Amino acid sequence: MNRFLDLANHPGRAYAVAALLPLLPVLLLAVAATVRNLARCRRHTDGSANRIYWLLGGDQPLKVGGYLAIAAMLGSVALSAWGLMHLSGEPAGKLDPDRWAERGEWIRIGATKAEASAVSLQLGYRIDHLTALMFTMVSVVGTLIFVFAMGYMNAEAKEHLEDHAIHLERRGRFGRFYLYLSLFAASMLNLLIADNLFQVFACWELVGVCSFFLIGFYYERPTASTAANKAFIVNRIGDAGFLIAIAIAFTHFGTLNIEDLIGAFSGGRPASISQEMWIVMGLGLFLGCAGKSAQIPLQTWLPDAMEGPTPVSALIHAATMVAAGVYLVGRCYPLFSPEVLLVIAYVGMLTAFVSATIALVMTDIKRVLAYSTCSQLGFMMLALGVGGWVAGLLHLLTHAFFKALLFLCAGSVNHGCHHEQDLRKMGGLRRSMPITAFTMLVGVLAIAGTPFFSGWYSKDRILSAALGFSLDHHEHALLFFVPLIVAGMTAFYMFRLWFLAFTGSPRDPQLQPHESPAVMTVPLIVLALLSLGVAWGWPLWNAEASALGHVLEKAEPILRTHHLAEEYHWLAGGLALAAAGAGAGLAWAKYGRRAPTPAHLAEPRGFLAEKWYFDTVYDAVFRRGTVKAAYASAKFDKAEHAKSLDGTMNSIATAAARVGANARKVQTGLIRQYVFALALTVLGLLGMLTWLTK
C-alpha cells in the first residue's frame, strides 16, 4: 500500500486516487440497493431477509447515499488541491513525465509473443497544468452542486411523492440520483486524467450514459425520456466521428497515447500519414467534440436536456460534461491541421451566434441558460480555432463556475416558485429571495463580461485572439465581428432574464415564492465568490495578468498567439465592453426601467422561437426519413414478387408445396393401378436385364 501510494515520487497518483474515489459511493449504493431489493421480495417469509431489508432503510430512499457521495467528492477536492500545490512547486518548463504520468498495458492485441509487432491498449494517467485545473474545477463545482442537490432533491428523499408534471405518485429515488451523480463524477474525473484516446473514449461514453440516465431521471414524463433518447442518439453521431479518428490514429501510429501522438506531430505532418487522412482524423475528433459540446449541427440535444433535474443541468449540461469536448480539442490541439482549426473556429462562431439569437426570445429560465451554454461553448471553440488556446480553456474554467452558479440560481428559483420555470410568470422575486437574486446578478455580470468578474478575463482574451487572427487574415474578419455581436447579445439576454425574474412586481399572484434553505444558498454564495474572483491576478485591470491564465500558459502546447492580439488587446477589450454595455443597456431599457409591457411577454413566435427550424428540419429529414425508409424496406421485404428476399424464400416454399401436391396424385388408392405399375416395372426390369446380358 505504501509503495502504491508513493506520493513523493509519483504525486500524480493522488489524482488517480481522487478520480476513483467517487466510485466508492457508486459501488456501495449499488450493492445496498441490490441486496435490499433481493431481501424485499423475501421479507415476509424469511426473518433474516426482513431484518436486512429494514437495516438497509426499508421503504425509504437511501438518503445516506447523498452524504457518502459528498464525502467522496470532498476527498477528491482535497487530493486535487494537494496535487495543485505540488504542481506549482515543480520547476518551470515541461513537467517530468516520470513523476506526473504512468501507464500500463491493458489489452494486448495481435501477436502474443514479446515482439514489437504486438500492440496494446494502455491504461494510464498523465497530469499537466490543464488537467490539474480542470480536475480541481470539476471536483469543486461537483461538490457544491452535490450539496445544493441535497436541498433541491429533498422531495426525492420521501417514501412517496407526487410528480408535479404528470401527477403521478411514485417512490422517491434519492439514492439512485446520487449513484448516477457519483458515477458521472468518477467518469468525468477519469476522462480528465486519461493519457490515451481509448481511455478518453471509454470515459466519454460513461459520462454520456450518465447524462442519459440523469436527463431521463423523471422517466415517467414522456418529455424527459424522449429528451434522454435524443441526447444519447445525437451524441452517438459525434462518437462515430471520434471512433474514426481513433482508428486512423491507431493504424497510422500504432499508439493512442496522446503525448506520443503529439510527439509524432511535433514537426508538422509526419510522413506516415497523408494530408487527407490527417484532415479526416482531425474532423472526426472534432465531430466527437462537437457532439459532446453541443456545437452545430449536433447542438439540438442540449436545450432538451433541461428536462433533467436542475442540479444535473448545472453539473453535466453546463459546467463539466459539455466542457469535455472543448477540453479534448485543447488536449489534442497539435493533432489538428490548420484547415481543421479553421473549421472549428467557424463552427464555434456559428454556434455562438445561432444559440445566442435563440436565447434572446426564450421564456423558460432554464432554456435561456441552455442556449447561453451552447453559445459560450461556441466561444471556446472559436478561441481554440483561431489559436487562442489559453483564451478558450480559460473561458472553459471561468464559464464552469458562473454557469454552474446561474443554473443553481435557476434551480433555487424553481424550488422557491414551486417548479414554475416561465419567466413571464415571475417578477419581483428580488424581495422574496434576496440571496438568489444577488448571487445570480454576480453570475449575470460575470457571463456578460463586466470588468473584474471572471468572465471578463477570459472573454477579453478570446476576443483579442479573434481580432489578432482576423487582422492577420483579412478574409476571416467575420471571426472577430460575429463574436463581438454575440457578446452584446449575451449581455442582453442575461440581463433580460434577470430583470424579468427579479425586478418589477410579481406578475402571477398565485406564485408564493420563498427563499431556499441554507443548504442551497451556501453553495450559491461560494460559487458567486468563485465566479467573481477565480481568474484574478495582479494587476487586476489587466486581463492578460490572470493568475489562472498564467498556470494554463504552462501547459500550452504550441505558442500560436499572434503578436497582433497583444498589441490590439485594448481595442478588442474596449469593443467587447461597449457591446456588452449596449446589450445590458438595451435590456434595462426594455425590461428593467419599467414593468415589461404585455407585448414583451407575449408567446414568442417565428424564426427564433422555432430555434432556426433545426429541430423541425431534423425531424422532417432524419427522423421521418428514417421511419419512412424503414417502412419502405419492410414493405419491400414483405413483397411477394420474386425480386425481394421474402418473395424468393416464399417462392421456394411454394414450389416445394406444389411438387408435393402433384406427387400426391400418383397415390390413387386404386389397387389395379398399383398392380399395373408393378407389372410394367417388372417388364421394364426384365427388358433391361435381357438387353444388358445380351
Q: Is 60 exposed, middle or buried (0-12, 13-18, 19+ CB in 10 A)?
A: middle
Q: Is 630 exposed, middle or buried (0-12, 13-18, 19+ CB in 10 A)?
A: exposed
CA gap 229, 234 in Å, rounded? 8
Q: Is 359 exposed, middle or buried (0-12, 13-18, 19+ CB in 10 A)?
A: buried
- Nearest distance from residue 661's CB to another protein, in Å? 12
- Nearest distance from residue 652's CB to another protein, in Å? 25
Let me know: does 208 contact 191? Beta carbons within 8 Å.
no
**Positions 659 through 688 that interact with another protein (CB under 8 A):** 669-673, 675-676, 679
- Nearest distance from residue 669's CB to another protein, in Å? 4
Q: Which residue's CB is nearer to another protein, number 38 or number 659?
A: 659
- Nearest distance from residue 670's CB to another protein, in Å? 6
CA gap 301, 615 in Å, rounded? 9
Q: Which residue's CB is nearer to another protein, number 473 or number 658?
A: 658
Q: Which residue's CB is nearer to another protein, number 599 or number 671?
A: 671
- Nearest distance from residue 658's CB to another protein, in Å? 18
Q: Which residue's CB is nearer to another protein, number 91 or number 669?
A: 669
- Nearest distance from residue 622's CB to another protein, in Å? 57
Q: Which contacts of 160-167 are long-range, i.e. CB under 8 A and separated by 24 or more positions?
A: 163/218, 163/220, 163/221, 164/418, 164/419, 165/218, 165/221, 165/223, 165/419, 166/220, 166/221
Going by C-alpha positions, the residue among 524, 522, 531 that lies closest to residue 452 is: 531
Let me know: does 57 contact 33? Beta carbons within 8 Å.
no
- Nearest distance from residue 230's CB to another protein, in Å? 60
Q: Which residue's CB is nearer to another protein, number 168 or number 675?
A: 675
Three cell numbers written together for 632:
419502405
DSSP string across 610-629 = TGGGHHHHHIIIIIHHHHHH
Q: Which residue's CB is nearer to another protein, number 672 or number 694?
A: 672
CA gap 639, 215 in Å, rounded? 41
Let me know: does 482 contact 352? Beta carbons within 8 Å.
yes
- Nearest distance from residue 683's CB to another protein, in Å? 10
Q: Which residue's CB is nearer to another protein, number 167 or number 672?
A: 672
> What b/e readout covers 112-121, taking b as 16+ CB neighbours within 10 angstroms?
eeeeeeeeeb
**Positions 459 through 478 that interact with another protein (CB under 8 A):** none
- Nearest distance from residue 685's CB to another protein, in Å? 15
Q: Which residue's CB is nearer to another protein, number 168 or number 678?
A: 678
Three cell numbers written together for 324:
469535455
Going by C-alpha positions, the residue among 489, 461, 425 that lies closest to residue 549 is: 461
- Nearest distance from residue 672's CB to another protein, in Å? 5
**Positions 574 through 633 that interact with another protein (CB under 8 A):** none
Going by C-alpha positions, the residue among 546, 529, 326, 530 that lies closest to residue 457 is: 546
> Residues for the chain: how many in total?
694
If one counts every other C-beta atom within 10 angstroms of the C-beta of residue 42, the result is: 14
φ, ψ (nearest 5 deg) of residue 123: -125, 125
- Nearest distance from residue 675's CB to another protein, in Å? 5
Q: Which residue's CB is nearer to another protein, number 642 or number 679?
A: 679
Q: Which residue has the cell 473514449?
A: 201
- Nearest distance from residue 631's CB to another protein, in Å? 43
Is beta strand 168-171 parallel, antiparallel or unpaired with respect to 160-163?
antiparallel
If one counts every other C-beta atom within 10 angstroms of the C-beta of residue 416, the result is: 21
Let me know: does 541 contact 451? Beta carbons within 8 Å.
yes
- Nearest distance from residue 635's CB to another protein, in Å? 39
φ, ψ (nearest 5 deg) of residue 473: -125, 100
H/E element, 119: strand 119-126
Q: Helix or strand or coil: residue 364?
A: strand
What is the CA angle 438-523-381, rounded to 5? 85
Strand partners, 125: 102, 194
- Nearest distance from residue 641's CB to another protein, in Å? 33
Q: Which residue's CB is nearer to another protein, number 613 or number 676?
A: 676
**Alpha helix (H) ranges present in 293-388?**
301-304, 310-314, 323-331, 338-361, 365-385
Q: Which residue's CB is nearer to another protein, number 27 or number 678?
A: 678
Q: Which residue's CB is nearer to another protein, number 3 or number 672?
A: 672
Strand partners, 170: 161
- Nearest distance from residue 655's CB to another protein, in Å? 22
Q: Which residue's CB is nearer to another protein, number 648 or number 681?
A: 681
Q: Helix or strand or coil: residue 642?
A: coil
- Nearest distance from residue 627's CB to another protein, in Å? 48
Three cell numbers written together for 605:
413566435
φ, ψ (nearest 5 deg) of residue 45: -105, -25
Q: Which residue's CB is nearer to another protein, number 2 or number 690?
A: 690
Q: Which residue's CB is nearer to another protein, number 93 or number 669?
A: 669
Q: Is 621 exposed, middle or buried (0-12, 13-18, 19+ CB in 10 A)?
A: exposed
Q: Which residue's CB is nearer to another protein, number 678 or number 688?
A: 678
One-letter amino acid for residue 204 of the chain = W
For the chain, report the end-to-end CA distance as a whole number of angstroms.
99
- Nearest distance from residue 673's CB to another protein, in Å? 8
Q: Which residue's CB is nearer to another protein, number 602 or number 679?
A: 679
**Binding residue count for another protein, defined by CB under 8 A:** 8
Residues that bind another protein (CB under 8 A): 669-673, 675-676, 679
